[in-house]
Amino acid sequence: MITVSIHGRGGQGVSTAISVLSKTAFSSGFYVQSIFFPAQERRGSHVWGIVKMDKNPIISKQMENPDIALVFTTNIDIKAIADTVREKGIIIFNASEKIIFPAVKKKKLKTYFVDATGIAMRSINKPIPNMAMLGAFAKYFNKISLKGIKSAASHMEKENAVGLDEGFNTVK
């Protein structure tokens, strides 16, 4: 089973990212469970969610430590997120430049960075980094294709496809 956690602030598109990733995983042949945890359901509060996917039915309803974490803002408790990610896991950060977090370095997690907010501002003129972050995710998780994510997000503004492509191409 692969578990992905997505962390951000209300208004950054965390809920939408969970929905799009779940739809993509399902249409890619995975069984899927997803959970969204809104803190106070208001813009700016810490929100997060989990997407579990497996080729076999998912029976367990318990929270699993994620293999991959998508962090939409570095203005949240990174240590708490890093502590939950499995050993040799991946964290993809929304940041315009590489940042070294001691908790992440200590656990020897792979880190990648993408300027998802900058991409969103250029593509949809709103600070909603979800599609660029999903594009970056597709780059490092080859069981979900960028094309599949675009298909699951086809109901959204067409500019979101630009954000997906740029997130995929610029993550480092």
Q: Report the candidate in 67, 172, 158, 160 with the shortest Cα–Cα distance to residue 115.
A: 172
Give the tens place of pLDDT for each residue, 38-91: 866 567 788 999 999 999 999 988 888 999 999 999 999 999 999 999 988 999
Q: What is the pTM of this model?
A: 0.93
Set out the domains of the chain in order of their start, with CATH numbers. 2-170 (3.40.920.10)
Give the tens place of pLDDT for each residue, 100-151: 888 888 888 999 999 999 999 999 999 999 999 999 999 999 899 999 999 9
| C-alpha to C-alpha distance for 150 and 162, rounded to whole angstroms | 10
Q: Are 3 and 64 in contact (CB under 8 A)?
A: yes
Q: What is the pLDDT of residue 21?
A: 97
Q: Are 134 and 17 in contact (CB under 8 A)?
A: yes
Q: Are 71 and 91 in contact (CB under 8 A)?
A: yes
List CB contacts of 100: < 8 A, sequence separation 6 or more.
none
Q: What is the pLDDT of residue 24?
A: 97
Burial of 132-162, coded b for 16+ CB within 10 Å and e otherwise, reads bbbbbbbbebeebebebbbebbeebeeebbb
